[in-house]
């Protein structure tokens, strides 16, 4: 390693030796030796959850090579979870775990793609009558508003039931919803009050299945109508607050690491 000292400069710039031999590091990433609480601090998941992710993503992440330095599926999952949990730069994650920055980048991409490919198995819009009644009852207990099945930008009991992520940038919220698969589904299948309603703010137009507040409420009934959705939508802050505390990557431009396939669905 050579050092170049510039005249009148208050710093030194390290110069890497050219033709440096590539060294493969011994990866020491596993969940053995860690307690459940230690795993949650590092990766935001306990042992059983990490093992479940490894088993679920195994077919997608198993490397088609027998080289001694190939990453195992468990190591790839742990690298990605560490990135999601910390929100640090790829270089920092790599230095912390003893993995090259380019390797971290590929692993985060591959794990993210594998997770996104399975989103429909876990993020589902409720259609079963009994499930809908349970959700409506839960929302009613929150704010006293009957027949609510969802709130735009929020969820019931911290669960996401629909995600539309095909509009990177800053399009208007109403446009995103109007062009979503969920809106098309409700336009075709919402026929009665018992089907339930979505609550939205004034950024959305009022629809037979989408209820919004009064701009200027007159009298106590209209004011009570406005107050009830506000109490119901308080889960918005709670839900995203929990997610951001758990996965600090959500504070950053996470969109940059996602596969383009996610924005085509």
DSSP state of 249: G
Bridge partner residues of 3 (DSSP): 14
Give the end of a domain, one of 88, 117, 146: 117
CA 155/CA 158 separation, integer angstroms: 6
Both structure tokens of 179: 């062009």
Assigned domain for 86 exists:
yes
Residue 92 resides in a domain? yes
End-of-domain residue from the set 54, 86, 117 = 117
Q: Are residues 34 and 105 in the same domain?
A: yes
Number of compact structural domains in the chain: 2
Q: Is residue 257 part of a domain?
A: no
Predicted confidence (pLDDT) per residue in 116-131, tens digit? 999 989 888 888 888 8
Segment 19-74, tens digit of pLDDT: 555 454 545 578 888 999 999 999 999 999 999 999 999 999 987 766 656 899 99
Task: Say if 261 falls within a structural domain.
Answer: no
One domain, residues 224 and 133? yes
Residue 87 domain-assigned? yes
Q: Are residues 163 and 213 in the same domain?
A: yes
Separation between Cα atoms, residue 22 and residue 27, nearest integer Å:
15
Range of the domain at 216: 129-233
Percent helix, strand and coil across the chain, each to the nearest 5:
50, 10, 40
Neighbours of 155 (CB within 10 A): 19
In a domain, 65, yes or no: yes
Asked whether residue 109 falls in the same domain as residue 143, the answer is no
Statement to judge: residues 144 and 69 lie in one domain: no
Residue 260 lies in a domain: no
pTM recorded for the entire structure: 0.70
Same structural domain for residues 104 and 164?
no
pLDDT digits (tens, 9 = 90+) for 230-256: 766 666 667 777 888 888 888 765 543
* Residue 176 and residue 222 share a domain: yes
Residue pair 208/124 in contact (Cβ under 8 Å)? The answer is: no
């Amino acid at each position: 390693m050579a050092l170049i000292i510039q005249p009148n400069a208050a710093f030194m710039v390290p110069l890497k030796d050219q033709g440096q031999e590539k060294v493969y590091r011994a990866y020491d990433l596993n969940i053995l030796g860690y307690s459940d609480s230690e795993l949650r601090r590092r990766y935001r998941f306990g042992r059983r959850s990490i093992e479940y992710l490894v088993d679920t993503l195994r077919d997608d992440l198993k490397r088609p090579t027998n080289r001694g330095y190939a990453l195992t599926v468990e190591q790839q999952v742990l690298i990605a979870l560490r990135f999601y949990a910390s929100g640090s730069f790829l270089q920092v994650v790599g230095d912390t775990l003893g993995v090259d920055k380019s390797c971290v980048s590929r692993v985060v991409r591959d794990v993210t793609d594998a997770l996104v490919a399975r989103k429909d198995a876990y993020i589902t819009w409720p259609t079963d009558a009994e499930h809908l009644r349970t959700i409506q009852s839960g929302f009613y207990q929150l704010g006293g508003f009957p027949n609510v099945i969802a709130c735009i930008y929020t969820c019931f009991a911290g669960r996401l039931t629909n995600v539309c992520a095909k509009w990177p940038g800053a399009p208007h919220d109403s446009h995103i919803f109007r062009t979503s698969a969920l809106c098309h589904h409700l336009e075709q299948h919402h026929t009665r009050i018992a089907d339930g309603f979505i609550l939205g703010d004034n950024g959305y137009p009022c629809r037979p299945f989408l209820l919004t507040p009064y701009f200027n409420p007159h009298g106590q009934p209209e004011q009570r109508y406005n107050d009830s959705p506000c109490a119901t939508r308080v889960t918005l802050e709670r839900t995203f607050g929990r997610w951001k505390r758990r996965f600090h990557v959500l504070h950053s431009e996470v969109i940059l690491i996602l596969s383009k396939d996610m924005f085509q669905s």
